[in-house]
Structure formats: C-alpha cells, structure tokens
C-alpha cells in the first residue's frame, strides 16, 4: 500500500500503517488495539484507501453517543472530503438516510436499535427494507456483548458484505463476549462451551491486537496506586446495619447499597471525600488537572456540592451533546488546576483528556475493562508527563472483595486474548457477601 497516495495530514505510525493494511484487506476484521492507539484513525484511513480504490460505497459506522463528535472531528482531519452524513432527525428522516444509495453514514447504537426494531421497520402498512451495506463498522463494539440485548439483536439484523469491529476490550466478563462479536462478524465457528485454546486459535486470523506497553515507548509512565481508606464512624454504623440484614434481601441490592455507603453516609459523612480533598489540594498546588470517576451520578453531585469551586466541572449522561462538548472544552482550556467529575458510563470510552495528570476512581466498577478505559482517557498519546491512577478502596468492606473480583476478571481477559488457557473462578454475589 502506498500511503503517500492517501494524502493524509500527518504521518501514520508503523503499527497504524499495519492496522490500515489489516482492515483494508479484510472483509471480517476485529481491530482490538489497546486503548489510546488510534483505532478511529486507522479505520478512517482504511476507509479512505477503499474509497480511492473502489469509488463511493455504502458504509454504516455505529458508535456510542459520546463519540459522535470525536468521529466527526477525526473525519474532518483525516478524510475531509468524505461524503459523511450524520444520522439525525425523526424516525422517518433517519429511515431515508439509511436507505440512501452511497456514502458514509454515522449513527449511534441507540438510533440503530430503534431503526431496526419492529416499529422502526414499519412505516404505516409498509415494511421498510433497509439496503445492504458494503461495510458496517462497530466502534466500542463491547456494546453488543450481551447477545440478548435489543442493541445486539438490531445490529445483527443489518445486512452487510463486510464488517469491521473496533474495541480495546473484546472480552470484558467471560469468553461468551467474544462469541457475540464473532456472531456479528458472521464467523459463527465459535460456540459457547468451547475450550479457550480452541477459541484463541479460531479468532487469531481475524483479530489484530497491539498493546501500548509493547509499541509506544514514548508513552508516559502509568503509576497505579490503591488508597485504602477506613469508613467514618457514621458510615461504619450504617454499613453494619445493612450488612447484618443481607440474608433478608436480594444480594445485588445489598451490594449496591453497601457500595453507596462506602462513598457517603446518609448525613454526607465520607472518609473518601476527606481523602479526595487532600489529593486535590496537592494537585492544585502543582497546578495540575485531574479526573474523578464514579459510577453514581448522585455521588458526583455530592462531591461537586462539597468542593463548590469554579474549577470543578461535572460531566454525566444527563447532559446533551452540546453541553458535554462545552464542559470538556472548559475543563481542557481552564487556566491552571481543574477537576473533571465524570460518570464511568458517560466518560469511560473514546474521549481524549490527556490534559489530566491524575485519574481517581472514587468507587470501583464491576468490570476492569471499563476502569482501564477510564484511565486511558488521560494515559494516551499526546501526553508527555506520567499519569497517576488512584483507586479508592474502603478497608474491611465489600470493596476489598470486589477488588478481588476485578483481578479475576482481568485474569480471564488475559487467558483468552493474551494467550493463557487456564480460567480462574469468578466470585459470586453471595460469596462477596459471605453468605
């Protein structure tokens, strides 16, 4: 491939050139590069190559809501002449855009779920027939890991000649995740219950995966720390009360309640908040930016109210696209120290926030891949100084047990994707609660 003919604005790194060649020559491809290696850029460059070689074709690109702006921005930089259309408007208008003859259509998973639902496939008494796409691309494809979800079912209804799947976490929970991805790719040779060695051998020809630690020697150091924190007396009292009643309630409900108490008591006492303020004060003295992640929006709102400062910015899924873009721009461009309070669900994927020197996980998510994606918002190309990742863990609580579960899930990922073949047992909910 002659990359000079692509007329790209910047030179691709050697591993990115390899990724472009891999996608361009594959009808069914899983690009599973580590977070922050530029999967979007590689996909757009590969599309540009096919466009120049084959002419205009029909391509559908499906992304999370939070990444629409990012894809538009990257297209403007790497492929500004692309016939790109954003899927928008009401259902009727979106149906028209999906049925158009040629070009690139950028859509969200939510839009595709609606468009390919029973209702979305009907217009009055008429049954809509969406055309076959030459290429369908799924970004952050772990969105379809649940084989029974409406989003997954909708994506599997899309008619396509070729499929490219982009994700840094092809396996999040167990080996069934990879089965779902390959079902979308129309590679159904993987079946549930297969041995891990068999799965590894089957996926190898269709998957390209590179790790940051292996190819980006210029990537800044990542310093990870666990901060173990004792509950306040108020938190401990509430925690013990809920824990003692655990046999009378649904285990998941109990765990959720206990996790929230580990963050804040009913009267807003929080050892984590006290520790967070200490950390943020040190960063403020150094004039550095930081990101604080939590899975709970209410927890972030409590932190925001407690900090009550102009340099603190709240970001979660309740804001619209325009508001989110404005919040991120204000954080990035703030002169001096700033804090971004971000929900894991809204901000763990796709965003470039290398302005931050520190990422703080105020509470732990069930999935280590989601946490790694959150840390990768700052630990990515473009940053030159070390990144600190701090995980808050309350001692002698279920958070320590969840920490064990997260490690075991990381082991399973390594088993299937990185090459080992022994699977560790995962903790069950009842085991977390010692029932």
Please indicate, yes or no, whether residues 156 and 251 belong to a single structural domain of this protein.
no
pLDDT on residue 315: 94
- Pick the more confident residue, 29 or 429: 29
Please indicate, yes or no, whether residues 191 and 279 belong to a single structural domain of this protein.
no
pLDDT on residue 427: 46
Residue-wise pLDDT for 192-208, tens only, equals 667 667 777 777 888 89
Please indicate, yes or no, whether residues 202 and 233 belong to a single structural domain of this protein.
no
pLDDT on residue 165: 93
Please indicate, yes or no, whether residues 284 and 420 belong to a single structural domain of this protein.
yes
CATH number at residue 349: 3.40.50.300
Tell me if 367 sits within 8 A of 413, measured CB to CB.
no
* pLDDT (mean) for 8-32: 91
How far, CA to CA in Å, does 280 sit from each of 167, 291, 341, 347?
Answer: 32, 10, 12, 20
Tell me if 73 sits within 8 A of 329, measured CB to CB.
no
pLDDT on residue 56: 74
- Pick the more confident residue, 4 or 25: 25
Residue-wise pLDDT for 295-330, tens only, equals 999 999 999 999 999 999 999 988 888 898 899 999
* pLDDT (mean) for 418-429: 44
Tell me if 66 sits within 8 A of 347, measured CB to CB.
yes
The tokens describing 357, both together, are 């020197």
The DSSP H or E segment spanning 245 is none
The tokens describing 417, both together, are 């994707």
How far, CA to CA in Å, does 75 sit from each of 60, 70, 105, 252, 310?
Answer: 14, 9, 12, 42, 34
- Pick the more confident residue, 30 or 406: 30
The rounded distance, in Å, linking the Cα atoms of 248 and 415 is: 37
SS3 90: coil
Please indicate, yes or no, whether residues 163 and 284 belong to a single structural domain of this protein.
no
Residue-wise pLDDT for 226-263, tens only, equals 888 999 999 999 999 999 988 888 888 898 899 999 99
If pLDDT is split at 50, 70 and 90, which confidence band does 373 have? confident
Q: Find the DSSP H helices in 224-317.
A: 233-244, 251-263, 271-285, 297-307
pLDDT on residue 261: 94
Please indicate, yes or no, whether residues 286 and 350 belong to a single structural domain of this protein.
yes
If pLDDT is split at 50, 70 and 90, which confidence band does 162 have? very high
Tell me if 380 sits within 8 A of 408, measured CB to CB.
no
Is the C-alpha dihedral spanning 324, 330, 333, 335 positive or negative? negative
Average pLDDT score over the chain: 84
pLDDT on residue 365: 79
CATH number at residue 32: 3.40.50.10810
Please indicate, yes or no, whether residues 259 and 408 belong to a single structural domain of this protein.
yes
Please indicate, yes or no, whether residues 60 and 118 belong to a single structural domain of this protein.
yes
Domain boundary among 214, 234, 256: 214
The fraction of the chain above a pLDDT of 70, given in percent, is 84
Domain carrying residue 113:
3-214
Burial of 16 (C-beta count, 10 Å sphere; 0-12/13-18/19+): buried
The DSSP H or E segment spanning 103 is strand 103-108
The fraction of the chain above a pLDDT of 90, given in percent, is 40
The rounded distance, in Å, linking the Cα atoms of 43 and 138 is: 10
What lies within 8 Å, CB to CB, of 54 at 6+ separation is none
If pLDDT is split at 50, 70 and 90, which confidence band does 212 have? confident
pLDDT on residue 435: 47
pLDDT on residue 108: 92
Q: Is the pLDDT of residue 421 over 60?
A: no
pLDDT on residue 417: 53
Please indicate, yes or no, whether residues 153 and 173 belong to a single structural domain of this protein.
yes
Please indicate, yes or no, whether residues 231 and 269 belong to a single structural domain of this protein.
yes
Domain boundary among 179, 214, 249: 214
Domain boundary among 214, 249, 283: 214
Tell me if 433 sits within 8 A of 255, measured CB to CB.
yes
How far, CA to CA in Å, does 233 sit from each of 41, 274, 276?
Answer: 51, 14, 18
pLDDT on residue 352: 82
* 24: number of Cβ within 10 Å: 18
Please indicate, yes or no, whether residues 149 and 231 belong to a single structural domain of this protein.
no
Residue-wise pLDDT for 79-137, tens only, equals 999 999 998 887 777 878 887 768 899 999 999 998 888 666 665 555 567 878 999 99
The rounded distance, in Å, linking the Cα atoms of 339 and 290 is: 5
Q: How many domains is the chain built from?
A: 2
Please indicate, yes or no, whether residues 208 and 226 belong to a single structural domain of this protein.
no
The tokens describing 110, both together, are 């939510």
pLDDT on residue 29: 92
Residue-wise pLDDT for 255-290, tens only, equals 889 999 999 998 889 999 999 999 999 999 999 999
The rounded distance, in Å, linking the Cα atoms of 76 and 106 is: 13
């Amino acid at each position: 491939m002659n990359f000079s003919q692509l007329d790209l604005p910047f030179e691709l790194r050697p591993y990115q050139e390899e990724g472009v060649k891999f996608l361009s020559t594959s009808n069914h491809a899983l690009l599973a590069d580590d977070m922050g290696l530029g999967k979007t850029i590689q996909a757009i460059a590969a599309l540009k190559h096919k466009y120049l070689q084959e002419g205009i074709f029909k391509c559908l690109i499906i992304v999370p809501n939070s990444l629409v702006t990012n894809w538009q921005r990257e297209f403007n930089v790497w492929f500004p002449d692309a016939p790109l259309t954003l899927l928008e408007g009401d259902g009727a208008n979106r149906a028209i855009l999906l049925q158009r003859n040629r070009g690139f259509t950028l859509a969200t998973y939510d839009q595709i779920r609606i468009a390919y639902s029973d209702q979305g496939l009907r217009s009055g008494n008429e049954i809509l027939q969406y055309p076959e796409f030459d290429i369908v691309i799924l970004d952050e494809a772990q969105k379809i890991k649940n084989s029974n979800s409406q989003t997954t079912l909708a994506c599997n209804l899309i008619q396509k000649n070729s499929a490219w799947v982009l994700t840094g976490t092809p396996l999040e929970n167990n080996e069934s995740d990879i089965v779902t991805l390959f079902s979308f790719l129309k590679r159904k040779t993987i079946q549930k219950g297969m041995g891990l060695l068999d799965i590894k051998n089957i996926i190898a020809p269709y998957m390209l995966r590179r790790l940051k630690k292996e190819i980006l020697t210029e990537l800044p150091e990542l310093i990870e720390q666990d901060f173990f924190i004792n509950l306040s007396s108020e938190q401990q009292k509430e925690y013990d009360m809920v824990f003692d009643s655990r046999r009378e309630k649904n285990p998941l409900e109990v765990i959720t309640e206990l996790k929230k108490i580990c963050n804040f008591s009913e009267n807003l006492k929080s050892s984590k908040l006290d520790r967070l303020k200490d950390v943020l004060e040190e960063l403020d003295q150094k004039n550095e930016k930081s990101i604080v992640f939590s899975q709970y929006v209410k927890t972030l709102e409590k932190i925001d109210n407690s900090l009550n400062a102009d340099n603190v910015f709240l970001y979660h899924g309740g804001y619209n696209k325009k508001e989110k873009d404005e919040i991120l721009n204000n954080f990035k461009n703030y002169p001096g120290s700033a804090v971004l309070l971000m929900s894991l669900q809204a901000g763990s994927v796709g965003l470039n926030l290398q302005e931050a020197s520190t990422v703080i996980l105020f509470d732990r998510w069930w999935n280590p891949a989601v946490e790694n994606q959150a840390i990768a918002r700052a630990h990515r190309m473009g940053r030159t100084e070390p990144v600190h990742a701090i995980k808050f863990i309350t001692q002698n609580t279920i958070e320590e047990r969840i920490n064990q579960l997260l490690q075991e899930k990381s082991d399973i990922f390594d088993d299937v994707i990185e090459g080992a073949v022994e699977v560790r047992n995962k903790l069950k909910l009842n085991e977390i609660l010692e029932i």
